[in-house]
């Protein structure tokens, strides 16, 4: 069969049985809803308020009853036919509980008018509910459910009380100004209108549950400490079926099984990154170093009390006991075994978490680090499941970036290694088993890469700071023989189809390579410099694609592989009129702690990509949740690199199981959206390697993603897309990565410098003339072009 018929001809070829379309199908929507339910985290459930008994009389409050936010904006958005809010969800359950209709009608009317006036989901003010409506509701129901929603989006960050609207422009600036009006303290906290709603409802109802429909962490201390609030469900943004998933969980259809992928602290100021996050448009100083999330709160003296709900926490409608816990070590590999028994009254699932505590030594370590985890099957009351966890101790070696022991080496320091197991990082109990190293073990010796030049200090485990050397940045000189590149003046039109009608037949084609008749090296050798330079840039889009193509040389039968956003599902432009399935945001997916489910989600998104003739999924996005203020956290998984790698890696495997390419992004240290193309992430080499690069490294090792996308930002004075140390020395040299690399869209780096750094394709359009000019000037070689073109072709050979 001819290869790449979908890429070349864009056929209408449904994947379902008997020609049934699977995109947006009931099966795919059910997967979205099941994933949403699995990742929602029950934070509070006093006196077993939840689940609601059949026939419970409930009044729904809060604009989010109707104003449901399915996910974040920007490339993480999807175009859907419909969105299920919580009111729709309860209605769908058809009488499981009795819903007071008048508050639903009030909010439905208010939200419809707000949307008609230009309002967007999550971006409208909480209305004041009429006194007579409150009174009527309280006379008809004794239970209230208050829904609160938040919106997040690409290109802007969340505000703190001290933040000002800085360099945002146009639509983004207007969005931030609107957010500031709605949430004067920042949307981490409740608005004045939301506070008033809570007071009024709690004063009239003896039973109150709160549902948080948010893309980022919020002030949960407000709810935990309020005796008038009996239950809190952190529902995140659950995709197009999220409102139904909320209603199902509240009514006991399913048992809560989500566990936090982030630490929930009492105040925004409690997170160590908050005070400097908005300090400058030009840079961010990662002073907290490796102490991110629970590594900070569980390690730094005096910080534990700031935690409202610890990493890994989540309640259930049933209870579990972990017994028969034991551990052993063989050749540096740790094995842990235990038995999990359901001691409650409902069928449910537990997440067994294993944490490592390493000796402080010379380098300092977090008090605990997640080393392994497993989610049980659904265990019936009285039943048990045996669980085995394994990991290599060497994966948790410390990187010595200053030479305290051996510079540029990963080291397991001498001393006692202990292990803790349980259901969250705070409550985990110590195993009697331990490992003792009598001397330091050098795991791997490398060389210095991406060292900071302007980071003057970093946090240590005892809460003090270590001074770091500050050096003058190297003077930037322009290459001789070629004009300076300035994206503001460079011609940057949309990609155009290339006219190859005058090309002479060479006899070489990628189709023949695929069939084994020719070697790929022969094909690449037959391509002229112009051909090579052309496919080092993005290509025209076809069909429903909105993000442009890769490859595209008809003379050599190289297909135009169409790409697609995004992290929550296939994204098709609204004007096309086609709809796809919106999955929950990545943060919710991380809270499932379920690698099998993530593989299923990855495969489902890939099926919709394939059915729509799209070949490369521009996800998953795996940057670390360094700060709650990052506006794009909804696209990312967790504050922990191991959890991120395990779950996103599963999504990669699921996607690529049907020969759709997955793309890891944004490589790397992309933890701020404000001025993202010019902001310098000033971070130690140790923190880079142990926190911000670790998930990328593990997924590349364990899942082999077919593509990696650069981030926009600068790292320690060097633009990421122009960083040879990152893309060639680390990614390819240290990690052995063989796949394709690409820039993020509309980057401002110099095309030839990006190619020299190790970037294969500049998206969404290249500058072939500039690359050829750089070859003439000796700045890059034609061999550099050949290597990049070969990787483009190698990607195509993996795809049908």
Residue 510 contacts residue 797 (beta carbons within 8 Å): yes
Q: What token pair was written down for 452?
A: 């900071």
DSSP secondary structure letter of residue 315:
B
The Cβ of residue 543 has, within 10 Å, a number of other Cβ atoms equal to 18
> What is d(CA 581, CA 608) in angstroms, rounded to the nearest whole number?
8
- Which structure tokens are listed for 352? 């067994």
Task: Give CA–CA dist 112/124, Å, rounded.
Answer: 11
| Cβ-contact 461, 365 below 8 angstroms | yes
Is the sign of the CA dihedral 166, 69, 567, 396 positive or negative? positive
Measured distance CA(393)–CA(441) in Å, rounded? 11
Quick check: helix, strand or coil at residue 635?
helix
Q: Residue 288: left (phi > 0), alpha (psi -120 to 50), or beta? A: alpha
Q: Which of 289, 400, 680, 744 is catalytic?
A: 744
- Per DSSP, the three-state class of 788 is helix
Q: Are 742 and 550 in contact (CB under 8 A)?
A: yes
Smallest CA-to-CA distance from 706 within 753, 744, 742 is with: 742
Q: Is 744 a catalytic residue?
A: yes
Cα–Cα dist 117/114, whole Å: 5
- Euclidean distance between the first and the last CA atom of the chain, given in angstroms as a whole number: 10
User: What torsion, rounded to 10 degrees, do the Cα atoms 679, 685, 687, 690 define?
Assistant: 130
- Calpha distance 120→536 (Å, rounded): 38
Report d(CA 500, CA 498) in Å as an integer.
Answer: 6
Active-site residue list = 744
């Amino acid at each position: 069969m001819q290869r790449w018929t979908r890429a070349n001809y864009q056929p209408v070829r449904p994947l379902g049985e008997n020609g049934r379309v699977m995109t947006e199908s009931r099966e795919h929507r059910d997967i979205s809803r099941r994933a949403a339910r699995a990742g929602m985290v029950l934070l509070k459930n006093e006196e077993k308020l939840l689940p609601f008994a059949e026939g419970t009389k409930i009044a729904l409050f809060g604009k989010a009853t109707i104003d449901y936010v399915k996910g974040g904006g920007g490339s993480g958005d999807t175009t859907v036919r419909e969105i299920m809010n919580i009111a729709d969800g309860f209605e769908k359950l058809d009488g499981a509980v009795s819903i007071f209709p008048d508050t639903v009608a009030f909010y439905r009317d208010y939200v419809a008018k707000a949307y008609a006036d230009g309002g967007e989901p999550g971006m409208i003010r909480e209305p004041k509910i009429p006194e007579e409506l409150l009174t009527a509701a309280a006379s008809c129901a004794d239970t209230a459910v208050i829904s609160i929603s938040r919106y997040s989006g690409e290109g802007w960050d969340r505000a703190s009380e001290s933040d000002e609207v800085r360099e945002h422009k146009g639509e983004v600036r207007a969005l931030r100004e609107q957010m500031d009006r709605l949430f004067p303290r920042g949307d981490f906290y409740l608005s004045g209108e939301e506070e008033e709603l809570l007071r009024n409802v709690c004063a009239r109802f003896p039973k109150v549950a709160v549902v948080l429909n948010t893309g980022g962490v919020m002030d949960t201390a407000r709810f935990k400490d309020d005796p008038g609030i009996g239950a809190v469900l952190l529902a995140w943004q659950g995709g197009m079926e999220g409102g139904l998933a909320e209603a199902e969980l509240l009514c006991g259809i399913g048992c809560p099984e989500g566990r936090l992928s982030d630490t929930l602290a009492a105040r925004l100021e409690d997170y160590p990154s908050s005070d400097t996050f908005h300090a400058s448009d030009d840079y961010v100083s990662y002073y907290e170093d490796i102490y991110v999330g629970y590594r900070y709160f569980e390690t730094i003296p005096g910080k534990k009390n700031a935690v409202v709900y610890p990493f890994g926490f989540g309640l259930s409608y049933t209870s579990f006991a972990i017994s028969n816990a034991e551990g052993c070590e063989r050749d540096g590999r740790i094995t842990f075994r235990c038995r999990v028994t359901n001691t409650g009254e409902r069928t449910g699932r537990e997440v067994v978490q294993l944490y490592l505590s390493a000796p402080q030594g010379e380098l300092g370590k977090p008090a605990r680090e997640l080393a392994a985890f497993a989610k049980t099957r659904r265990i019936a009351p009285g039943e048990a499941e045996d669980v085995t966890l394994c990991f290599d101790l060497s994966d948790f070696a410390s990187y010595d970036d200053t030479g305290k022991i051996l510079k540029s080496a990963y080291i397991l320091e001498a001393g006692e290694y202990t292990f803790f197991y349980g259901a969250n990082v705070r409550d985990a109990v110590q195993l009697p088993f331990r490992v003792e190293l009598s001397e330091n073990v050098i795991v791997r010796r490398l060389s210095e890469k991406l060292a900071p030049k302007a980071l003057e200090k970093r946090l240590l485990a005892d809460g003090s700071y270590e001074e770091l050397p500050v050096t003058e940045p190297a003077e930037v000189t322009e290459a001789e023989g070629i004009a300076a590149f300035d994206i503001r003046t460079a011609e940057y039109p949309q990609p155009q189809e290339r006219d190859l009608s005058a090309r002479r037949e060479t006899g070489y084609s990628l189709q023949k390579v695929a069939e084994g008749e020719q070697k790929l090296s022969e094909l690449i050798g037959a391509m002229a410099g112009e051909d090579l330079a052309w496919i080092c840039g993005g290509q025209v889009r076809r069909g429903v694609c909105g993000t442009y193509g890769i490859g595209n040389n008809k003379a050599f039968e190289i297909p135009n592989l169409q790409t697609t956003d995004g992290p929550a599902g296939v994204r098709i432009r609204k004007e096309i009129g086609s709809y796809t399935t919106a999955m929950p945001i990545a943060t919710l997916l991380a809270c499932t702690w379920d690698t099998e489910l993530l593989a299923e989600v990855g495969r489902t998104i890939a099926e919709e990509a394939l059915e729509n003739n799209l070949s490369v999924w521009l996800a998953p996005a795996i940057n670390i949740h360094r700060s709650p203020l990052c506006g794009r956290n909804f696209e990312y998984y967790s504050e922990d690199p191991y959890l991120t790698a395990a779950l996103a890696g599963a999504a990669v495997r699921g996607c690529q199981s049907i020969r759709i390419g997955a793309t890891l992004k944004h490589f790397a240290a992309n933890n701020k959206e404000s001025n993202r193309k010019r902001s310098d992430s000033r971070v130690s080499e140790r923190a880079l390697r142990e926190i911000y690069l670790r998930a990328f490294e593990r997924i590349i090792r364990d899942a082999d993603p077919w593509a990696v996308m650069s981030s926009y930002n600068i790292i320690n004075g060097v633009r990421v897309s122009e960083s040879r140390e990152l893309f060639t020395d680390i990614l390819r040299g240290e990690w052995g990565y063989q796949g394709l690399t690409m820039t993020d869209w509309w980057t401002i780096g110099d095309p030839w410098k990006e190619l020299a750094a190790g970037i294969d394709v500049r998206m969404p359009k290249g500058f072939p003339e500039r690359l050829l000019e750089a070859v003439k000037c000796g700045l890059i070689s034609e061999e550099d072009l050949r290597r990049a073109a070969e990787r483009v072709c190698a990607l195509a050979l993996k795809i049908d």
